[in-house]
Amino acid sequence: MPTTPPDIPAPGPPRFDDAAGAWLLTRYADVLAALHHPLLTAGAAWGGTDLDRAVHLNFRSQSAAAAAGMLDERLSQMALLADGMAGTLPQDRPVDLAGELAQPWSLQLACSLSGPSGGAQRMAALSAGIFAAAAEPLDAALRARAEQSTLELAAMFSGPLAAFHLQAFIALSQTLPCFLANAWLALLHDPENAALLGGQPQLMPAAIEELLRHSGPARAQFRRATADVELGGAIIPGGSRVALMLAAANRDPQHFSRPDTLDFHRPAPRHLAFGDGRHACIGAPVVRAAAAAATAAFIRHFAGARLARPVEWRGGFAICAPASLFVSRQSPDPGSERAR
């Protein structure tokens, strides 16, 4: 596994990248325009097709209602589960916050909320393969294996919203722990903001939005132009693949002041970590609530922790996050003991 994440490209004019085989959009304004452009399709980016618009809107409406139901039913359980798991981790050795907290907690959450019929470990292995292809979509072999994994995993869900529950399971079991690991690493590097969040827990909603902007794991989404498209002063020929570089857009200094700095008081952030428009993440409210619950547990039990080993990374061009996040605590936290 790599010891450093791929660089986030500096925002600039649209350009064709030979290695990606795609036009790269890196500026916030260009990426936002592309997310709403009717001639840039998501389903056809890798050879598929887009759903009929009416069918797509109906699916999104029903799925959004299902996501809201998940949130209403399980918010308190999510917080208790995260706090309980964090509170039982040992204090006399380095703890891998990715492998021992973010990943197992997210898997339990995914199984609880999406109601699959298969075994958790097999489903986790299948979803990990699907995630690997999403993280590195330029790898044709990964995409081919992911197609088979998707078929097997899809068979474990039933009902009219089976497709939504499949997507939710993959997002919660794979993408959510990636975001948590990225966010917690950012807080470990910024103990002042971690302490601020511990002293002012009412800042958590704003902190999650800022962490999504600064440390969201999704770096790129792909589209295909169905006809010639003009964006950012460039003409993108019809049939071209287009990479919407979300992480670069979220660090665009033309839209965000001091973009590389965490600012929990940043005015009205409108990040693109969940995309935007008709293909924006349906489960964003669930991810926000889950991330807030887990991060509150991280702050409560790992305030003052320090990195104990070099970070190893997983993912690639489109999604990237720590595969391991080993930290050490110097001594037990009396506040954590009282909280338990």
User: Which token pair is 120?
Assistant: 């958790």
Identify whether the C-beta of residue 284 lies closer than 8 Å to the C-beta of residue 63.
Answer: no
Identify whether the C-beta of residue 37 lies closer than 8 Å to the C-beta of residue 242.
Answer: no
Chain-centroid distance, C-alpha 333 = 30
Rounded-to-integer distance, Cα 118 and Cα 152, Å: 10
Rounded-to-integer distance, Cα 291 and Cα 210, Å: 12
Domains and CATH numbers, the chain: 15-339 (1.10.630.10)
Burial per residue of 108-132, b for 16 or more beta-carbon CB atoms within 10 angstroms, e otherwise: bbbbebbebebeeeebbebbbbbbb
Closest CA to 202 of 148, 265, 268: 265
CA-to-CA separations, 108 to 6, 41, 63, 114, 131, in angstroms, rounded: 30, 34, 21, 10, 17
> Coil, strand or helix: which one is 230?
strand
Identify whether the C-beta of residue 95 lies closer than 8 Å to the C-beta of residue 280.
Answer: no
262 exposure class (CB count in 10 Å sphere: 0-12, 13-18, 19+) = buried
Residue with tokens 């006399």: 92
96 phi and psi, to 5 degrees? -90, 100
Identify whether the C-beta of residue 14 lies closer than 8 Å to the C-beta of residue 231.
Answer: yes
Per-residue pLDDT of the chain (340 residues; tens, 9 = 90+): 666 787 899 999 999 999 999 999 999 999 999 999 999 998 766 666 555 566 656 666 666 666 666 666 677 888 899 999 999 999 999 999 999 999 999 999 988 877 666 788 899 999 999 999 999 998 999 999 999 999 999 999 888 778 888 888 999 999 999 999 999 999 999 999 999 999 999 999 999 999 999 999 999 999 999 999 999 999 999 999 999 999 999 999 999 999 999 999 998 668 999 999 887 888 888 899 999 999 999 999 998 899 999 999 998 899 999 999 999 986 544 454 433 3
Query: Can you give the pTM of this predicted structure?
Result: 0.90
Rounded-to-integer distance, Cα 314 and Cα 103, Å: 13
CA-to-CA separations, 318 to 50, 126, 172, 222, in angstroms, rounded: 20, 19, 17, 9
Identify whether the C-beta of residue 250 lies closer than 8 Å to the C-beta of residue 29.
Answer: no
